[in-house]
Amino acid sequence: MDTKYYSCQYCHEDFLPKRRYVQKYCCDNCRSKAHHQKNKITNQSTSLPVTGTQNKIEKMSAAGIGNAAAGVLAADVVKSLITKNHNKPATKGDILALKKSYERYQRVLNLPRKPDGTLPYFDMETKYIVYLKDYR
């Protein structure tokens, strides 16, 4: 048969339990202190002693610089091989070629020459067709 009073497992005082067969501690304070005490003991036993060895700090060397340069070069080659041409960024030469293709006068190919030998060109600024003597 069960006794009327229980003994607290942390402070060992007698107390009247509110939940029979389940309650082990007299109050929440004793319960939390017992938990901290239990975890403190297990943490101390599992920790390893710290040795006084320090990690070696690497210094700059020619081999390290060479390895870094080779790594960057390899990454750039792989990146340029994977990237498609239409996704690559435009260079200054590409922009100049594009500018040259959009000059002021563009040759109109579906109109014939005039009898005096002038060729039809489309003026990009005025938006009219003009006839010029062999502009290009």
Residue 56 placed within a domain: no
pLDDT in tens, 42-93: 555 556 666 767 778 778 888 889 999 999 999 999 999 999 888 888 889 8
Six-digit token string for 36? 């901290």
Residue 74 placed within a domain: no
Instruction: For the full predicted model, state whether its pTM sits above 0.85.
Output: no
Residue 18 placed within a domain: yes
Residue 13 placed within a domain: yes
Domain count across the chain: 2
Residue 64 placed within a domain: no
Domain that holds residue 18: 6-46
Residue 17 placed within a domain: yes
Alpha helices for the chain (secondary structure H): 28-46, 62-82, 92-101
Residue 24 placed within a domain: yes
pLDDT at 116: 92
Handedness of CA 72, 77, 78, 80 (dihedral sign): positive
Residue 79 placed within a domain: no
